[in-house]
Amino acid sequence: MINRNLNFSTLIRLVRNSSFLILFALVFFGQGCKSDKVEEPALSAATCDTANVKFSTSVFPIIEKNCNNCHGASKYINFGSGINLSNYDEIAALKTEVVGTIKQEEPKKYSPMPKGAAKLSACDIAKVEAWVRKGAKND
């Protein structure tokens, strides 16, 4: 009888103690997750290669994927406000505007692009900028 009472109160104490532990763990790990999410991935050479940027392998694929639903050859008149980004000559001629639209810097000099979608990744923006900085070649 005495033994059973002791066991019961020990059990209660255990549950109470561990619920404190669980609460503590939730708060602690919860904060850990929150601060992980806030951090932006660093744009280091290891994660973003801007040294080997070429029009054909870096820039055009970014434009094709993110812009040419509206600015492609068969789309730009209806959806892209007459702005054609379907080939090198057109993109090179608009390089300043292209960089301006994807960087979306304040105060906004250009309409933010891609229209109606999330801003491009920092790495994709850095690649397009690097290509322009190196002379916007047809490479």
Give residues in contact with ligand HEC (CB under 6 A).
Answer: 66-67, 69-71, 79-81, 83, 94, 97-98, 101-102, 110-111, 113-117, 120
Residues 6 or more apart whose CB falls under 8 angstroms from that of 48 comprise: 122, 123, 126, 127
What counts of helices (H) and strands (E) characterise the chain? 7, 0
- Minimum distance, C-beta of residue 114 to ligand HEC, in the bound complex (Å): 4
Of the two residues 58 and 66, which places its CB atom closer to ligand HEC in the complex?
Answer: 66
Give helix 95-103 / helix 122-133 axis angle, nearest 10°. 160
Of the two residues 53 and 80, which places its CB atom closer to ligand HEC in the complex?
Answer: 80
- Minimum distance, C-beta of residue 53 to ligand HEC, in the bound complex (Å): 16
Q: Is the bond leading into 107 cis (omega within 30 degrees of zero)?
A: yes
Of the two residues 13 and 109, which places its CB atom closer to ligand HEC in the complex?
Answer: 109
